Structure formats: structure tokens, C-alpha cells
Chain A
Amino acid sequence: MNKPDKENINIEIKLLLEAVFLKYGYDFRNYSQAHVKRRIMHRLSVSGCENITQMIHEVLYDQSFFNKLLLDLSINVTEMFRDPSFYQALRQKVIPNLKTYPFIKIWHAGCSTGEEAYSLAIILKEEGLYDKVQIYATDFNQLVLKKAKEGIYPINLIKEYTYNYQKSGGLNSFADYYNAKYDSVIIDTELKKNIVFADHNLVLDGVFGEMNLIICRNVLIYFNRELQDRVIKLFSDSLVHGGFLCLGSKENLRFSKYSNNFLDVEKNEKIYKKVAFVNESKSV
């Protein structure tokens, strides 16, 4: 048999993603191609399969093989207070506005293992807001959601998290927010009480209503432009008028069909505000 050429590999990848969607309902068909290809080729090289077509068979008949592929395709790299300057801007530009509401709903989409949701909880607590918020932290991956709920992290990361926390404008000692045991730390249960970790798939699921703030960082970078537009519309529809949307530092709304629904609040940190009256005709 000849070495598969680029065209055939791309066809096989499409078929594999189709099989994953039809069998398990996870839809990676509109993910950035280069990323998906890289992750699939990685799984191929460690799987013992001879080619991608053989992987399709494994995916269909062996759920544990699919579970591994699912972890390959969903990137769950995160840290507490990732990009400290973002959290500083959140404190300065968004929190004062949130303080004017009697009750605040926040959606953290793509929360992965929870580090950034707890970072947010810490800020809200320090700003005296935590008791009037409800945070919905969502991800499509059950395994990471379970870890997020547990809130247990390796102790060797704490040094970096403490550095990030301090740089983000933290008011207390970072050690106030966790308990160390052996080689792990567990997040203070107080921080968990107003966070609901829930299963939600941005590609397939619908609106989360009446949010005051949506944070979704470093998720859109994996989507193609079409899918990015779908998700930005979903966010726009889920926000109250004047609600805030925060994206990752290298993501932006500039190329989106729905960019007119939002105003810049802090350009460098990708913090946006939904404008008071969205021209609905544009978003049909």
C-alpha cells in the first residue's frame, strides 16, 4: 500500500470526526483543522493503530479508546490567575459595575479543571460580592468537571499561582484560600459554595439566560470562524444588556459577524460589554 497522501489523511480525519459525532455526540467537525490533525496524529502514533481508518473502528467499538481521543482533542491546560493583568482589569473595570446589581449571574464557559473559576471566586470574595453571585462553570468533558468540583491541585504549582495571584492585585495571602495536605492542596470549601459545575457543550447546547458576566478564555482559538460566530451569538443572547464578555488575551471579536453587539471595555485584555440595544436583524 502506498503511503497515505495529504488528501487521503484529510478525508480519513473527516470520517473519524463524523464517527465520533454520530456515535458519541461530540462535535469536533468545526474545530481548527491544524489542531485536530495534530492531536489525532499524536493519538495514532501512541495507539498502535496502523492508520486513521483503523482508529475509526476502535472509536466505534471501544469506548475507552474514544475516551482517550476525547482527552486528546479537548485541551485542558489552565492555571490559577492565568494572565494576571486580565484579573487586574476585571477587578478595576468590571467589578465596580457588578456591584450595582442586587444579584449577579456569571457563566464561566470552558472551565476545564476549575482553576480559573476559583480564581474568579477569590476576586469576588475580596471585593465583597461573593455572597450575591451564582457562578455557572461549564465544560463538555465530565472528567475535568469532576476534577473541578474536587478542587484538588498539585502543591508544586502553588508557587506560580501565588505569583500570579499577587500580580493580579490580590489583597490577602494566597495561602488563605487552600489547605495543603501531602503533595496536594484543596481549595477552601467557602469558595465552592456558589459555584455550580455543569455539563454544557458550546458547539451543541443552547443559551444560558440573563448573565451579567461571561468568561470564556482560550476556547474560541480552537474553533473555525463559523463556529466562533455561533458561540459569540450564543454569548450575546445569554447576556443581559450591558453584561460583560471576557475572552482570552489573543482572542477577539474583530472578525465576528456579531462584533457590533459589543463595545470595548478594555481592549488589551479582551473585555467587552454588550451594547444596550442590539440590532437583532443583524443576528438572524
Chain B
Amino acid sequence: MRKTKFKAIVIGVSLGGAKALQMILSALPEKFPVPIIIVQHISPHSDNYFVIHLNGLCKIKVKEAQEKEKAEAGTVYISPPNYHLLIEEDGTFSLSIEGRVNYSRPSVDVLFESAAYAYGTGLIGIILTGANNDGSKGLKKIQEEGGLSIVQDPKTAEAESMPKAAIAATETDYIVPLEKISELMIELCK
């Protein structure tokens, strides 16, 4: 295993994401050592019910990412609907209403690309279930900048095209079933 100390985890998830995120995040300890930043494809008109629901369910704190807020360890940040979420090199969030990327706003590629620049070798990128190919370019970028890639085993995904596209686009470091992902995150960030 690599010697790098990881500084952040980014996760991209689309169709089937509610269940997958619940399973992963509810298994994490309250004091998880790095920030976890998530882009989930959701309707532009949705409210923040899911974020509140997850926060109630998990030991780790879950909240919507706010612009200019600094990403802190022990917190899960979820992108607000209808905005792209980017992370600056100083670890603070930026939002953008730039057009849809891969038919999506927020787009996983947009977050992953900015995170790859911000955290370099200290970043873990994870692609979960989804019915499109958003995120595969971003995961490749993470790899190019020296970060680590994890993809949910498509066989365990509600929708397999997003993980499949990510595996095709990268030399994926870990392909793991859904129920093993939280364990791996904990192990890597120890």
C-alpha cells in the first residue's frame, strides 16, 4: 500500500445513489480523518431533505456544501442541487451555474477535476452506481495528478454504466463491491 497520507475523498454517484450513500456513510465513524465531498445527481428542484435524512442516519456529520466554506475532516459535504461544486486549492468550496456537463449540474467531472488540482496525490476518487458516464474523465484526471481511484463493482451497482465507464477510462486501483467500500475508505485513511 502507498505511503501517501490522504487529505480528502471525493465521491460521484447518480441513479441508485440514495441507497449506496446510506450504506457507505452510515458505516463511517464520527471522527473520520478527512473531508468527504460528494456530487450526487438530483433534480434541480429538489430540496435538502436527503441531506437532513443522511445526517440523522449517520454518525459522521452530513451537510450541504456552502460556497467559500472550508472542507474539514470528519464532515461529509453534498453538492447543492442545480449548481456545480468545485474545490479551490485552499480547500474552500466554489459554486458555479455554468451549463450542464454530461447533461448534469452538478457534474461529477467538474468536482473531480478541481479536486485533482487541489489535493493531487492526497486525493481518493470514488465512482458509485449511475446510469451515465459522468465522472470517468474526472477520475482519470485524479489518476493523472497522482490520486487513487476506487470504483464500485458494477455487479453490485443498481445502475452499472457509470462504474463501467469509469473502469474503462482508468487503470482503476480498486474495484470493490458496495458493502466493502466504507471498510476500504477507513483502512486507506488510517
Q: Residues of A with Cβ closer than 8 Å to B?
A: 6, 10, 32-35, 37-38, 75, 77-78, 218, 221-222, 225, 228, 250-252, 255
Contact = CB atoms under 8 A, between A and B. Distances in A.
Given A37-B117, A38-B113, A250 B66 contact: yes
B99 A221 contact: no
Contacts of A250: 66-67, 80, 83, 95
Contacts of B94: 32, 34-35, 221-222
Contact of A255 (B68, B95, B114, B117): B68
A35 B117 CA distance: 12
Q: Which of A34, A75, A225, A251 has the most CB of B within 10 A?
A: A34
Nearest to B113: A38
A77 B98 contact: yes
A34 B95 CA distance: 10
Contacts of A38: 86, 110, 113-114
Given A33-B88, A37-B117, A75 B68 contact: no
6 contacts: A32-B86, A34-B89, A34-B118, A37-B117, A38-B113, A228-B68
B64 to A, nearest CB: 9
B120 interface: yes
Contacts of A34: 86-89, 94, 114, 117-118
A32 B88 contact: yes
A17 to B, nearest CB: 15
Given A77-B97, A221-B83, 12 more contacts: A32-B88, A33-B88, A34-B118, A35-B96, A38-B86, A38-B114, A221-B67, A221-B97, A222-B96, A225-B68, A228-B68, A250-B95
A12 to B, nearest CB: 14
B95 A6 contact: no
Main DSSP-derived SS at the A contact region: helix
Nearest first, the 3 closest Cβ-Cβ pairs linking A and B are A34-B86, A32-B94, A34-B114
B95 A221 contact: yes
B86 A77 contact: no
Interface string B4-18: 000000000000000
Contacts of A33: 88-89
Contacts of A251: 67
Contacts of A78: 97
A8 to B, nearest CB: 13
A174 B80 CA distance: 29
Contacts of B110: 38
A75 B114 contact: no
Contacts of A252: 66
Contacts of B120: 6
A6 B117 contact: yes
A253 to B, nearest CB: 12
A75 B98 contact: yes
Contacts of A10: 89
Contacts of B98: 35, 75, 77
A185 to B, nearest CB: 21
A283 B173 CA distance: 52
Contacts of B86: 32, 34-35, 38
B20 to A, nearest CB: 25
Interface in B65-106: 66-68, 80, 83, 86-89, 94-99
A35 B118 CA distance: 12
A221 B92 CA distance: 12
B42 to A, nearest CB: 14
A35 B68 CA distance: 13
Nearest to A32: B94
Interface string B136-179: 00000000010000000000000000000000000000000000
A75 B86 CA distance: 15
A38 B94 CA distance: 12
Contacts of A77: 97-99
B96 A75 contact: yes
Interface in B42-71: 66-68
A200 to B, nearest CB: 20
B96 A221 contact: yes
Contacts of A6: 117, 120, 145
A225 B94 CA distance: 11
Contacts of B113: 38
A217 to B, nearest CB: 9
